[in-house]
Structure 1
């Protein structure tokens, strides 16, 4: 539904007549991906290490004594994280849960909001095993470096282990594995293609009113976007949010409370306000308002 939505570079303008509020920030969150399999996944360390070496120059692999049946831990020395006590490499883990059971209840929203893969729900429900991938000790990295190294890691594991489906927990989207590899690999894995989703919800108490948002920028400490509307074409609003989400990722938080941005219609200006989100998960969003 929301696949071909790229437009021109968004325009942001100051509105000096609007009183500025304190610009709030989202706390960074653990980056988390689940891979789903129809059969029990088996660690092929040789293949995993070959894929990682394609994307990283300096990696510390777990030695034989550190390897267990259900986990792996990697150190990426290309990405140094600075702490007051000293610097350490960014890290990532693979973890296989002891319990062989997929919790479909946590995927309900993702089943409904994975617009680019209509077979997502059926595919995942035909799976019986999962593994969990997370970053570690990397929240102090610049957000672009953080998403770059973690996506390199996930793309490597997906390429090596060939799951049936990929769930990005931070953006609540389920992707077909090859689609994830294509999206995640762009721009040397420094992109927000998979870790930001555009969602659509109907507002039950208000006829014909809808609300759309982005989800995933918040995990990197950036604001998401949210827009409540009645008369607009949802496809066009999806494109608007998608483009502004990428704009924030590329340029940082350059939109300020009270700025106006270019809208859908010719010469249309939309107001932007930092606010608490109306939708779950609760976070700071840039609320877009057409003044109606």
Structure 2
């Protein structure tokens, strides 16, 4: 199996949601207009030592507010920091060209996310990213947890298109076979979805995996081992089984078995 590329030295690590906004020149995070725009969405937004802190009070008074933090990214070239890899960005042909002139980035991360739902976390981070997109005009958005680069012009608060990605790799040990998976649900302690197959249209399988990933994002970990899902056209019934991921990062996934003659790899269908 061909392993996915590294996100590059200097890329954010850890379990939290992260968006990285890229620019030819770094924006001024102390700009009063930016702070005013953030406070129009969340009145508690503050400037702190060159960064921005945006609290998101939610309904449960026993939990501290989730906080979105905006900080300058490491300079390009420092400690091996590189431009994002666009090899698993399949829906934006202009991603590489948009990143080419970029030399600076801003990181948007979450703090105190424990106890918050996946939707609350995505919405909170997205509110801040949307303001930054409108006020600072980044050239590209990099979602390190999902290995995706997205077009800021298409971004909206609450979008999961960057948070969840569908990747595709060739199988180095089985000519003609492909492995596809979703990446991003692991951030929410949910299983990603994968499929190892041949002789099916990759776009069809990508649509199936993304739709299943969105279903898990919306409803939680409700597809049990041995349950079936239908194709996006309503046809076909495909068995899902939990197993170790074929692709890095190592994690538990739901493997979608397309059955014969399309399934690739070995499967235990007796359990």
- TM-score bracket relative to the smaller structure: 0.7 to 0.9
RMSD across aligned positions (CA): 2.3
The corresponding residue for 2:84 is 107
Shift of 1:265: 7.6
Question: Distance in 1 between the 2:141 and 2:244 partners?
Answer: 29
Segment drifting more, 169-178 vs 266-275: 266-275
The corresponding residue for 2:68 is 92
The corresponding residue for 1:216 is 184
Question: Distance in 2 between the 1:128 and 1:106 partners?
Answer: 8
Structure 2 residue ranges without an equivalent (≥5): 1-13, 261-271
The corresponding residue for 1:243 is 211
Contact persistence 2:75–2:104 (CA under 8 A):
no
Contact persistence 1:225–1:287 (CA under 8 A):
yes
For the pair 1:259 / 2:227, whether they are aligned, the reply is: yes
The corresponding residue for 1:4 is none
TM-score with structure 2 setting the length: 0.82
Question: Distance in 1 between the 2:185 and 2:110 partners?
Answer: 16
Matches within 5 A, 1:166-245: 166-180=141-155, 184-185=156-157, 189=158, 191-245=159-213
The corresponding residue for 1:35 is 21
* Higher helix residue share: 1
The corresponding residue for 1:62 is 46
Shift of 1:74: 2.2
Contact persistence 1:114–1:173 (CA under 8 A):
yes
Q: Secondary structure at the match of 1:122?
A: helix
Shift of 1:117: 1.2
Q: Secondary structure at the match of 2:65?
A: strand
Contact persistence 2:89–2:149 (CA under 8 A):
yes
For the pair 1:117 / 2:88, whether they are aligned, the reply is: no
The corresponding residue for 2:55 is 75
Paired positions, count? 246
CA displacement, residues 12-66 of structure 1 (integer Å, 9 cap, x when unaligned): xxxxxxxxxxxxxxxx92111111111232125432234324434xx32326xxx
CA displacement, residues 123-182 of structure 1 (integer Å, 9 cap, x when unaligned): 2121111111100111321221111111112112222211111101122111111112xx
CA displacement, residues 173-225 of structure 1 (integer Å, 9 cap, x when unaligned): 11111112xxx33xxx2x42221111111111211000111111111121110
TM-score with structure 1 setting the length: 0.77
Shift of 1:264: 6.3
